[in-house]
Amino acid sequence: MLATSGNAQAVDAAASGLAPSTASTAPAPSAKNDRALWLDFLERVSEPVLHALSERRLRAAMPVEAAPGEAASRAVGSPLEAFGRLLAGLAPWLELEPSPGEPAEETALRVRYRRWALTAIASAVDPSSPDFMRFGATPQTLVDSSFFALALLRAPLQLVQPLHASVRRRLIDAFTAERIVLPGYNNWLLFAAVNEAAIMALGGDWDRLRVDYALRQHMDWYLGDGTYGDGPHFHADFYNSFVIQPYLLQLMQTLGDAEPAWKNMRPAIHERAQRYAAIQERVIGPRGEYPVLGRSITYRCGAFHLLADCSLRHLLPEAVHPPQVRCALTAVQQRTLTPAGTFSANGWLQIGLAGHQPSLGETYISTGSLYLASAAWLPLGLPLADPFWSAPAALWTQQAAWSGEDMPVDHARDA
- Higher pLDDT among residues 9 and 214, named by residue: 214
Residue 412 located in a structural domain:
no
pLDDT digits (tens, 9 = 90+) for 132-145: 999 999 999 999 99
CA distance 47 to 44: 6
Distance CA 137, CA 272 (A): 35
Distance separating alpha carbons of residues 226 and 276, to the nearest angstrom? 5
Does residue 5 surpass a pLDDT of 60?
no
Residue 214 lies in a domain: yes
pLDDT value for 414: 80
Q: Cα separation of 222 and 231, whole Å?
A: 9
Return the HEC string of 171-230: HHHHHHHHHHCCCCCCCHHHHHHHHHHHHHHCCCCCCHHHHHHHHHHHHHCEEECCEECC
Q: What is the pLDDT of residue 32?
A: 57
82 contacts 141 by C-beta, under 8 angstroms: no
Question: Hey, which residues does 222 pair with through a beta bridge?
Answer: 228
Cα–Cα distance measured from residue 387 to residue 28, given in angstroms and rounded to the nearest whole number: 14
pLDDT at position 84: 98
Establish if 300 belongs to a structural domain.
yes
The pTM for the full model equals 0.93
- In which domain, by residue range, is 80 found? 7-402
Asked whether residue 409 is assigned to any structural domain, the reply reads no
- By the 8 A CB rule, do 70 and 363 touch? yes
**Which domain CATH number covers 311?**
1.50.10
Q: First CA to last CA across the chain, in angstroms?
A: 47
Residues in the chain: 415
| pLDDT band, residue 31 (cuts 50/70/90) | low
Residues 78-87 have pLDDT tens digits of 999 999 999 9
Of 31-40, 154-163, 226-235, the range with the lowest mean pLDDT is 31-40
Residue 9's pLDDT band (cuts 50, 70, 90): very low
The answer as to whether 280 is a domain residue is: yes
169 within some domain: yes
What domain count does the chain have?
1
pLDDT in tens, 151-174: 999 999 999 999 999 999 999 999
pLDDT at residue 261 greater than cutoff 80: yes
Q: Is residue 414 part of a domain?
A: no
- In the chain, the percentage of residues whose pLDDT exceeds 90 is 92
